[in-house]
Amino acid sequence: MLNKIEHLGIAVKNIEESAKMYETLLGKPSYKTEVVESEGVSTMFFQIGESKIELLEATNPESPIAKFIEKRGEGIHHVAYDVSDIELELARLKKEGFQLIHEVPKAGADNKRIAFLHPKSTGGVLVELCEEKK
């Protein structure tokens, strides 16, 4: 079961420049920055109510974020949902016919285990499942 929207991932060309705008927009600074080497991305998080905004900047030209920006420009990259049991959700969604990008969860930013669903099976939206590491 999907519990709530965990965060919106926003692809940006320059995380520091974008951070200034988001700090002004949200009226607060980010609470965390982190590099996820496996994804070739630098992240920055802002808390907004129960949810978060995650800024994503490519750390290399081959990263998924670099390719996304090249193809579509800056903007919303994915919607992430909090789940209590990521393996159970992946099995359920696969059985329901959703196309999984990751069959097995992997380490993500902000102390999460993550997996993505392909946008071809989710109405054109890249969906991330997030489970808090225990």
pLDDT of residue 38 exceeding 90: no
pLDDT of residue 80 exceeding 90: yes
Mean pLDDT of the chain: 96
Q: What's the rounded Cα separation, in Å, for the pair 122 and 81?
A: 13
Q: How confident is the model at residue 134 (pLDDT cuts 50, 70, 90)?
A: confident
- The whole-model pTM stands at 0.92
Using DSSP, state whether 53 is helix, strand or coil: strand
List the beta strands (DSSP E) in the chain. 2-11, 32-36, 41-48, 51-58, 75-83, 106-107, 112-117, 127-132
32 bridge partner residues: 45
Residue range 7-21, pLDDT digits in tens? 999 999 999 999 999
User: Which pLDDT belongs to residue 49?
Assistant: 93
Contact 117, 98 (CB under 8 A): yes
